């Protein structure tokens, strides 16, 4: 029996469908009741039993009620997937404090409420698996996303603490960290930058993340990065953090926004949006280049979850990682930080790694 939050679209919806295909019974939760009922109906079409419960993860009592419903309807609780999340694109000093805090309320405290609902029930029945859908931004930062990154870093540390506390109790805590995923997160995001946001390439389909979550439920892993680009990011950040930070800043400015103005919007942070209720955000079917036409509206009620690299920057990091590893083995220390120029990342990388 599986509980999935944030199941009205994106990774959450894909995950619910994947568990339904695997034969699990489900309680699906999100704020958008109509989209949630559609998700439950799709699960039932796949032969699963599913219950839709409109829920705001910021409400601790409502989250506890999800656990009650799971036990009452299905006799137990095997897996709890914390997934609901929101995003804010803004410079830190330009983000309203209440909007910034709401991102933390959903992305971190919503998961805390999920853990408080799941763990006592797991303990009473002798075990269970808590899966937190985080992001590669649980391990690496990015500009214009301080609230999102802070929430994801906090989530990773929270999960590690839980694993240490729950050792020997039969309760597994898994952190799934996707790279750049084709979901409606960008369409739903709060945005104060004046530029329409888009996913960084390469972009991964949400079904790959859903499959990884199902695998974690069957064979729990403490942490799992989904996407080769995400693993490259984490490795490079660990080996040459100063180089990584400059590359990421360069790449986000160049690639993470469309050449299209956007009026300031709170997105779905305070209240849910009726649009874009599908699994994907339409970016792989559409045009995700900065000058492109944007997502395909035909992708269903169709952004991405986390940050990755463009193909160009990904190639740079892939090439840099072995060299950085060799330098690290020789005790290499990066050169003192200098203000980067406007040049290509390859030139910036060579300057930073010059011995």
Spatial distance between the Cα atoms of 308 and 233, rounded to a whole number of angstroms: 7
Res 346: pLDDT = 42
pTM, rounded to two decimals? 0.85
Question: If you average pLDDT over every residue of the chain, what do you get?
Answer: 88
**Beta-carbon count within 10 A of 227 CB:** 22
Q: pLDDT of 76-86, one tens digit each?
A: 999 999 999 99
The answer to whether 77 touches 128, Cβ cutoff 8 Å, is yes
Res 292: pLDDT = 86
Res 235: pLDDT = 97
Residue 289, pLDDT > 80, answer yes
CATH class (in words) of the domain with range 2-311: alpha beta
Which residues are the active-site residues?
148
pLDDT tier for residue 314 given thresholds of 50, 70 and 90: very low
Tokens of 23: 């034969």
Res 298: pLDDT = 55
Domain regions of the chain by residue span: 2-311
Res 202: pLDDT = 94
The answer to whether 30 touches 54, Cβ cutoff 8 Å, is yes
Distances 76 to 123, 219, 236 between C-alpha atoms, Å? 11, 19, 42
Mean local confidence (pLDDT), 92-120: 98
Q: pLDDT of 37-66, one tens digit each?
A: 999 999 999 999 999 999 999 999 999 999
What angle do helix axes 146-165 and 97-104 make, rounded to 10 degrees?
A: 30
Contact partners, residue 254, CB within 8 Å, separation at least 6: 290, 310
Residue 338, pLDDT > 80, answer no
Res 196: pLDDT = 94
Spatial distance between the Cα atoms of 191 and 116, rounded to a whole number of angstroms: 31
Of 190, 206, 235, 208, which Cα lies nearest the Cα of 91? 190
Residue 316, pLDDT > 80, answer no
Tokens of 167: 């050792």
**Cβ neighbourhood burial of 42 (10 Å; 0-12, 13-18, 19+):** middle
Identify the weakest region by mean pLDDT among 48-57, 206-215, 254-263.
254-263
Residue 219, pLDDT > 80, answer yes
Spatial distance between the Cα atoms of 131 and 111, rounded to a whole number of angstroms: 10
Tokens of 63: 């989250």
Res 181: pLDDT = 95
Residue 67, pLDDT > 90, answer yes
* pLDDT more than 90, % of the chain: 81
Distances 101 to 2, 98, 151, 191 between C-alpha atoms, Å? 29, 5, 10, 15
Asked if omega into 202 is within 30° of 0 (cis), the reply is: yes
Mean local confidence (pLDDT), 257-263: 94
Q: pLDDT of 124-169, one tens digit each?
A: 999 999 999 999 999 999 999 999 999 999 999 999 999 999 999 9
């Amino acid at each position: 029996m599986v509980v999935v939050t944030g199941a009205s679209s994106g990774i959450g919806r894909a995950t619910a469908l994947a568990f339904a295909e695997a034969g699990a019974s489900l309680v699906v939760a999100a704020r958008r009741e109509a989209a949630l009922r559609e998700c439950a109906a799709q699960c039932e079409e796949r032969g699963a039993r599913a219950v839709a419960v409109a829920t705001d993860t910021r409400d601790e009592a409502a989250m506890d009620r999800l656990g009650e419903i799971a036990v009452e309807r299905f006799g137990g609780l095997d897996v709890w997937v914390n997934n609901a999340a929101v995003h804010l694109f803004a410079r830190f000093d330009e983000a309203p404090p209440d909007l910034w805090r709401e991102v933390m309320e959903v992305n971190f405290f919503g998961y805390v409420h999920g853990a408080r609902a799941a763990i006592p029930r797991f303990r009473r029945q002798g075990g269970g698996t808590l899966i937190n859908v985080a992001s590669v931004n649980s391990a690496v930062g990015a500009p214009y996303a301080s609230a999102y990154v802070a929430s994801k870093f906090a989530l990773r540390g929270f999960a590690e603490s839980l694993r240490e506390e729950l050792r020997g109790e039969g309760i597994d805590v898994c952190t799934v960290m996707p790279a750049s995923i084709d979901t409606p997160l960008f369409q739903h995001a709060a945005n104060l930058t004046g530029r329409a946001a888009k996913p960084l390439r390469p972009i991964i389909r949400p079904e790959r993340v859903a499959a990884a979550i199902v695998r974690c439920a069957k064979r729990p892993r403490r942490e799992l990065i989904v996407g080769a680009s995400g693993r490259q990011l984490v490795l490079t950040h660990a080996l040459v953090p100063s180089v990584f930070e400059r590359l990421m800043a360069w790449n986000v400015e160049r690639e993470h926004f469309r050449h299209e103005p956007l009026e300031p919007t709170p997105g779905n942070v305070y209240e849910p949006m009726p649009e874009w209720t599908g699994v994907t955000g339409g970016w792989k079917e559409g045009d995700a280049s900065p000058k492109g036409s944007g997502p395909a509206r035909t992708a269903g009620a169709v952004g991405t979850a986390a940050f990755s690299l463009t193909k160009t920057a990904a190639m740079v990091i892939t090439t840099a990682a072995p060299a950085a590893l060799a330098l690290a083995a020789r005790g290499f220390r990066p050169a003192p930080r200098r203000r980067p120029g406007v040049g290509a990342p390859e030139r910036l990388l060579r300057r930073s790694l010059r011995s």
